[in-house]
Amino acid sequence: MKLFLGALALVSTMLSFSAQASIIVEAKANSSSGGIGGSTGVFFTLGDYFTATADVNDLWNAGALPRWSNADGLTGNLFATGTDESGYAAGTLIGKNFGTWTQNGLSAAYGSLVGSIDGNYFLMGTNYAGNAVGTGELLLWYWDSNNGDNSENITVSITTTSVSEPATFALLGLGLLGLGFSRKHLKS
C-alpha cells in the first residue's frame, strides 16, 4: 500500500505543472477608475490556486504628496528612502492613510493592487495566495477613484500550479484502483 501511495504522489507531481508570469501594472493605465485592467495572459478555472507577489519597495503614485504607496495601498505613513521612485529626499513623508475606496463590490485601500477574474474583484496587495474567484483571465488594477494624476508602476510575479484535466482523470482512476486493491487485501 505504501508503494502504491508513493506511486500516486509521483504521478500527481509529474502531471501537474507550474507557470510563472511577471506583469507590469501601471497606476494610470490600469486604474480601476478611468483605466483598463492590466492583462496578465494568465487564465484560471474557478478554484485554481495561485500566488502573486510585488516587492514592498516597488512604489506607485496617486498624485500630489503624500500619495505614494506599494501594492498594499495608502494604509499608513511612508517615508522616502532617497533612492525610491518618488525622487524625494530621504525622510520626506510621501504616503499616508487615505482610507478605502469602494467600487465593483469591493472596499480596499486607495492605491492597492486588486485582481479581478470574470468580474469578481479581490484584494491582492504585496503578497497574495489563494484560489481563483472565477473562470477567465486574471486582470490587475490600481485601486482608486481618479486616474488623472496617477504615475509609476509596479511589477507583479504570478505563480500558478495546476493539474491538467486528463491528469485529474488519471489520478482519479489510480485512486479507485488503490481503493479496490486495499479493500481486497483488507478482506484477506
**Bridge partners for 50 per DSSP:** 130, 160
* Lowest-pLDDT choice from 79-83, 114-118, 140-144, 179-183: 179-183
Contact, 110 vs 62, CB < 8 A? yes
- CATH for 13-165, among 3.30.300.30, 2.60.120.430, 3.30.420.40, 3.30.70.1230? 2.60.120.430
- Model confidence at 71: pLDDT above 70: yes
Rounded to an integer, what distance in angstroms lies between the CA atom of residue 29 and that of residue 180?
56
Q: Considering the entire predicted model, what is its pTM?
A: 0.78
Sequence-distant (6+) residues with CB within 8 A of 71 are: 54, 56, 58, 60, 112, 113, 124, 125, 126, 154, 156
Rounded to an integer, what distance in angstroms lies between the CA atom of residue 62 and that of residue 51?
25
Q: pLDDT for 24-69, tens place per residue?
A: 999 999 999 999 999 999 999 999 999 999 999 999 999 999 999 9
Per-residue pLDDT band at 3 (split at 50, 70, 90):
low
Q: pLDDT for 118-144, tens place per residue?
A: 999 999 999 999 999 999 999 999 999
Q: pLDDT for 103-118, tens place per residue?
A: 999 999 999 999 999 9
Which pLDDT does position 111 carry in this prediction? 98
The angle at the Cα of 59, spanning 149 to 22, to the nearest 5 degrees, equals 110
Q: Mean pLDDT for the chain? A: 86
Closest CA to 178 of 51, 6, 20: 6
Contact, 168 vs 45, CB < 8 A? no
